[in-house]
Structures are given as C-alpha cells and as structure tokens.
C-alpha cells in the first residue's frame, strides 16, 4: 500500500477511504465489523463517517442517525485498534428538531463533536469535516470553535465537504488571518460522469494544498458494470433506470473499454481518480465484503495514456480549468 499525505499535512492515509454510510442501514453491524476488519487488513487506514449516517438522515423520521458512528465505536471497543486508523466524521446536518441542532454555529459544533465522540467511543477525532457550508455563520465563529476543539485535543484536523471553490478560498483566507491551519481536505462529488469540479474546485485545492477526497467515485453505480447488474443498492430504482437509459451509449462504450483492458468497471473508475495528484483518496462505501475486496484491487491498476484519453472521449469533462475552459 502506497500511503499519501492528506493534502499539505504530514498525515499519511491510504488511497482508498472506507466510507461507512451504509453501516446500520443497508449493512448490519456484523457485516460492518467484517468490512472494517478486511479494510484494515487490506491496508486501508482511513475510515469516514458522519453523525447522520446509519438511517434516514432526518430527525423528523424514525431515529436512525448516528448508528454508523455507534457501529464504528463498538468495533473499536471490541478490537482495540483505534490508533491504527485515521478516523473522520462530519458536522452540520440536523440531529434534532431544535433551531440550534444543525449548522456550524459554535454552539452546535461543540455539542455535535461531544455527541460524536460519545458514539464513537473515543476521546479524539482525527479529521472533523464540515458536511456543508453554512452561509449564515461567519468564518470567525466557525474557526474559533474549531480552534477550541484542537486545543482541547478533541480533533486534530478540519476538512470540508460539498463546498464550492469560493467557499474554500473564503475559509482559508479567514483561517490564515487567525494563523490557523484551516482546511486540509475537501470531499466533493467527483467521478467520470460528474467532472464539474475540474473547472474551479480542483485548481483551488491544488493552490491551497488541500487534499481532494471524492465521494460517489463509481457514479452511484453507473460505473460499476451497470448494464448487467444494477438492480440493488441505495439508489437503485426507476430514477437510476432512467439515468442509465439516458447515458446508455456512454456506459456501453465504457464497459467495452473496461473489457478490452481486462479490468472491472468499478476498478477503472477508481484508478482514474487516483491518477490525479490532487486526489488524496477515493471514498468507497461497500455494502458487502466482496465489494471491498474488488475495490482494493483498483489501487494497483495502472491506466495507460491511451486509456485515459479514451476515457476522456467517452466521459468528456468541462473542457479544462476556468476561465480557459469557456473564455477562450
């Protein structure tokens, strides 16, 4: 396993991140334990979760959020392997129905962090990520809250998720003014079918030394051999069938290319992401241990220049970086 620096930090993480959104909802605790055991045995040392994972992700529905963190906490207690993983979770989403039970106010950040620590059964979070940007809370307040958590030893690094490029820039300018490290990573939607962040986000992350951690690397299943087997999972159903029909010519060309190079479609999708130097790690969210084992094989897959060019033809990006992509 060739570990990578998380952005500009000295922290080393595996090129694949174990995403645990399915834990507690589509994957029970027993299978989740098996997946975490196999991930660690396979060299994956970066586990990612969120306070809302494990259920409907809404406090207005039957309570299920927080289950993913609890399952990880149970596994850590059972195995004693806390110091072998880089543990990441998130804050922002509503956890209760009160007006201050969501967002990035200092009030909510403190309470949410304490609750995550309790569910995870640990005294510190290695990477604490803002799940979305909160445009109603000033960066001075957010960074003050994060700095306090760092001083108390409850978190080590701060990341973001689902930000726009200008949010990243604003956050870093505010952090630098406070002589604070600021963001070290950003989780964004990025895969062969969704390449919008190549316009502005990737250049911004490169400029600030922030590691990119793409989520949905296999395009909700479209890049995982969808023509033959996409009948189950979190996003299966009529909407996915409709999307597959819209993109059928591209999916057919993609799967043909994968057959030609002798690699599974999901592995090619992951390998394509990992060839980008801005990408620190791609999040994989296996529902079953078999999915994880296939994902691990993508780490050693080398894509030739010809294959990369053909992938660009099948799944064209936005034309490069802004403003050159559209200004001239």
Q: Which of 324, 77, 94, 76 is nearest to 199 (CA)?
A: 324
Task: Give the list of residues 6+ apart from residue 197 with CB closer than 8 angstroms, or none.
Answer: 165, 188, 189, 190, 212
* Catalytic choice (53, 65, 128, 230): 53
DSSP code at position 308? H
Cα dihedral sign, 70-44-157-269: negative
Task: Give the list of residues 6+ apart from residue 72 with CB closer than 8 angstroms, or none.
Answer: 20, 23, 36, 47, 49, 87, 120
Task: Give the list of residues 6+ apart from residue 127 with CB closer than 8 angstroms, or none.
Answer: 6, 86, 87, 88, 89, 155, 156, 157, 158, 159, 184, 185
The CA distance from 51 to 68, in Å, is 8
Burial (0-12, 13-18, 19+ Cβ within 10 Å), 311: buried
CA 232 to chain centre: 21
The CA distance from 297 to 204, in Å, is 30
Peptide bond into 323 cis (omega under 30): yes
Q: How many residues does the chain have?
A: 328
Residue 3 a catalytic site member: no
Q: Which residue has the tokens 């490169």?
A: 206
Active site residues: 53
């Amino acid at each position: 396993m060739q570990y990578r620096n998380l952005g500009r930090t000295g922290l080393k993480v595996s090129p694949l991140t174990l995403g645990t959104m399915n834990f507690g909802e589509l994957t029970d605790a027993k299978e989740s334990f098996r997946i975490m055991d196999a991930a660690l045995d396979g060299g994956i040392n970066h586990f990612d979760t969120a306070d809302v994972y494990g259920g409907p992700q809404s406090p207005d529905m039957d309570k299920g959020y927080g289950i993913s963190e609890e399952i990880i906490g149970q596994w850590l207690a059972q195995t004693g392997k806390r110091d072998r993983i880089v543990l990441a979770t998130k804050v922002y989403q509503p956890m209760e129905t009160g007006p201050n039970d969501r967002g990035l106010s200092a009030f909510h950040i403190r309470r949410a962090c304490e609750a995550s620590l309790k569910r995870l059964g640990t005294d510190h979070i290695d990477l604490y990520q803002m799940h979305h940007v909160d445009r109603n809370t000033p960066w001075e307040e957010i960074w003050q809250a994060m700095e306090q958590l760092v001083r108390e030893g409850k978190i080590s690094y701060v990341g973001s998720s689902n930000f726009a490029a200008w949010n990243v820039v604003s956050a870093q300018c505010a952090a630098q003014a406070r002589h604070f490290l600021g963001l070290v990573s950003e989780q964004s939607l990025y895969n062969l079918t969704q390449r919008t962040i190549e316009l502005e986000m990737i250049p911004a992350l490169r400029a600030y030394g922030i590691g990119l951690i793409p989520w949905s690397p296999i395009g909700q299943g479209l890049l995982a051999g969808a023509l033959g087997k996409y009948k189950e999972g979190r996003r299966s159903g009529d909407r996915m069938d409709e999307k597959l029909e819209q993109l059928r010519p591209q999916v057919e060309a993609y799967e043909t290319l994968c057959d030609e190079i002798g690699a599974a479609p999901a592995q090619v999708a992951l390998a394509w992401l990992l060839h980008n130097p801005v990408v620190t790690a791609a999040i994989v969210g296996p529902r079953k241990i078999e999915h994880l084992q296939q994902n691990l094989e993508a780490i050693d897959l080398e894509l030739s220049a010809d294959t990369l060019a053909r992938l660009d033809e099948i799944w064209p990006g936005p034309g490069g970086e802004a403003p050159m992509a559209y200004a001239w």
